[in-house]
Amino acid sequence: MNQKLNTHDENKIMQNGQLDQIYIGDSREILQCFGRHSVDLSVWSPPYFVGKSYEQDLSFEDWQSMLSSVIEQHSRVIRPGGFLAINIADILCFEDPSMPRFQAENVCGKTNSVTRRQVMAMQAEYPTANRIELAQKLGCSEQTVQRRIDGNNVRGGKTKPSTKIVLTGCMVAEWASAAGFYLYDQRIWHKDPCWLNSRWHSNSYRAIDEFEHLYIFWQPGTVQYDRNRLSRDEWSEWGSRGVWSIPSVRRNDRHEAEFPEELVRRVIKLFSPVDGVVLDPFVGSGTTTAVAKSLRRHWLGIDANEEYVHVARNRTNLAS
């Protein structure tokens, strides 16, 4: 039975330990209804604050408040010796109005032969002419005149703020520490490169987007260490490896930010016992719950989007 938490009776059912459910609602509220120390592993990928449709109404402060609150709630529901696994990427293009314009002189890739000397000479000859008028006289664009006069190329256009990188791991680790967790381990998910963030032919030295971070936090207590959770090959190929090379989901038909089943499969096999309880408070299309079910774990999911919950329930119910 899957349900939506919206009555006192349903909250009471949740407190009594009913498992294998996906709930509709705000994780910050629903997690308060979970039993104390009722979850062995919580594994999830939160909104990344990169402009997806389901996070467009969030300010950066709202986003920080949401994630820190969800992490704080986990301190009560994760059992001693259990784990909290958060898959997240750094924010690679965070707009900062206070940041100076990124300036770049394109040394070898000028598409127009007009030189700075020519522009300055024309400007001296017509001192009252604006950039548009100078461009018309030189037979080039107004932007070319601006670049030659200022000696730079403005990244991101003339109106948008400049962008910088924001490291999310620092914030997540701080919030988890405040909730009583300790950063036990980390893995790098090496995925397919995303060329949209940094095209090789642009005026930028920025790297392409091709990895995300997986942070594993420990709730103090005795950890059940079972070497038999993985085969010998699994231990050598990825169980003890810090970098996991896993292709991204090719088509995000179910969810615009779906992560691969193999990623969550590895986390669940490593950090939860068979018949243990696996939670995803941002369940999305149900990747975590479906994989947990296939690996003989109990599962719990939460999502605020009713459409996604419907997809997640159907997908999980069909999993075997």
Across the chain, mean pLDDT equals: 85
Which token pair is 118?
Answer: 């020519």
Of residues 117 and 74, more confidence is placed in 74
**What pLDDT score was predicted for residue 161?**
81
Look at strands 209-218 and 182-194 and give their pairing.
Answer: antiparallel
| pTM across the whole model | 0.79
**What pLDDT score was predicted for residue 105?**
64
**What pLDDT score was predicted for residue 5?**
47
How many distinct helices (H) and strands (E) make up the chain?
11, 11
CA nearest neighbour of 44 among 318, 319, 249, 286: 286
**What pLDDT score was predicted for residue 18?**
81
**What pLDDT score was predicted for residue 116?**
81
Let me know: does 153 contact 110? Beta carbons within 8 Å.
no
